[in-house]
Amino acid sequence: MRGLVKTYRARRHGWRPGRRRATPAPPVVASDGIDLDVARGEIFGLLGPNGAGKTTLVRQLTGLLRPDTGTISLLGHDLVRHPGNAARLLAYLGQESTALDELTVSLAVETTARLRGLDAVTARRERDAVLDELALGPLAGRPLKRLSGGQRRLACVGAALAGQRPLLVLDEPTAGMDPVARRAVWAALDRRRERDGTTVLLVTHNVTEAETVLDRVAVLDAGRVIACDSPAGLRALVSTEVRLELVWRDEPPLRVPALAAAHATATVAGRRWTLRLPAEDARALVTTLTQGPAFAALDDFTLTTPSLEDVYLALGGRGGGLDRE
């Protein structure tokens, strides 16, 4: 994508002669000059708070919304000039998918596979494989509209996977899912990437998801890409420090010199110490901690690297809309 700009302008409907004209809403620049390259076989994420412009961006990529200016090239096809091509090249899972609601889970997946050009036998085989992969078997005969929110979402992911499109564009695919379902989805995406070289563009609010499954992530804020790198690369932007938390069962043995030094720089809250220190120092301290008198007095410890949320805040994003599940 190059130089993508999309502005939503207030419509002028509702005005009649004799009536006072309502103050038009100011235009919203939802894509504000976006350049992005996604490589084949990547699991690429768009992360950002509500209203950052993630859905607007993927709707342009899927040919459902026309950019004001800019170009989108997908596998050699110009999607701005020929948006109709998108339907043949990618599978799109939007935020709401009511089109399949009347169908059973089994039929939703099979029909989607057929619509994507698979013959009847292959479509049924693929349906069975997808239902199995996402553990949807027990729900196969139920209409989507009679499922829970998370179950329906999982069935819709199943439909998106059917038909082996080279690009999957998934807008918050795991929203509302429990951890087991979420992991099944992540594993299914990973498997397709490994097996078929499938490319995945995934919109998410979920920092854990971003850190777990994405090869690279673009952070969006107010229609702009404010950072784009691997999750680890983005974390490295923030700092090379790690956070070490110690919880003591008994009085910490401050006679151990390394502990006395740590105590001097720690934030102490009752039996809990929090330290921010270079990774190298943290490693040395953990070695001390896991030996001798310190270990006997230690109840628990955790060592964490900065999260994407820290990155987001450091980059000046508003931060409010990111989840940690």
Ligand X SMILES: Nc1ncnc2c1ncn2[C@@H]1O[C@H](COP(=O)(O)OP(=O)(O)OP(=O)(O)O)[C@@H](O)[C@H]1O
Residue ranges binding ligand X (CB under 6 A):
8, 28, 30, 48, 50-56, 205
Tokens of 203: 């919109």
Shortest spacing between CB 202 and ligand X, in angstroms: 13
Shortest spacing between CB 205 and ligand X, in angstroms: 6
On whether the CB atoms of residues 169 and 130 are closer than 8 A, the answer is: no
Shortest spacing between CB 7 and ligand X, in angstroms: 9
Give the whole-angstrom CA distance, residue 12 versus residue 150: 38
Helix segments in 116-243, DSSP class H: 120-133, 149-161, 179-196, 207-213, 231-238
Give the whole-angstrom CA distance, residue 45 versus residue 209: 9
Looking at the Cβ atoms of 28 and 87, the one nearer to ligand X is 28
Give the whole-angstrom CA distance, residue 26 versus residue 311: 30
Looking at the Cβ atoms of 176 and 253, the one nearer to ligand X is 176
Looking at the Cβ atoms of 228 and 244, the one nearer to ligand X is 228
**Local structure of residue 13 (DSSP, 8 states):** T
Looking at the Cβ atoms of 56 and 112, the one nearer to ligand X is 56
Shortest spacing between CB 30 and ligand X, in angstroms: 4
Shortest spacing between CB 13 and ligand X, in angstroms: 13
Shortest spacing between CB 58 and ligand X, in angstroms: 8
Shortest spacing between CB 27 and ligand X, in angstroms: 8
Using DSSP's 3-state secondary structure scheme, residue 243 falls into strand
Looking at the Cβ atoms of 53 and 173, the one nearer to ligand X is 53
Looking at the Cβ atoms of 36 and 297, the one nearer to ligand X is 36
Looking at the Cβ atoms of 34 and 38, the one nearer to ligand X is 34
Give the whole-angstrom CA distance, residue 228 versus residue 11: 34
Q: Is 300 left (phi over 0), alpha (psi -120 to 50) or beta?
A: beta
Looking at the Cβ atoms of 22 and 254, the one nearer to ligand X is 22
**Local structure of residue 180 (DSSP, 8 states):** H
On whether the CB atoms of residues 79 and 67 are closer than 8 A, the answer is: no
Give the whole-angstrom CA distance, residue 87 versus residue 83: 8
Q: How far is CA 166 from CA 87, 90, 114, in A?
A: 11, 6, 16
Shortest spacing between CB 49 and ligand X, in angstroms: 7
Give the whole-angstrom CA distance, residue 121 versus residue 105: 18
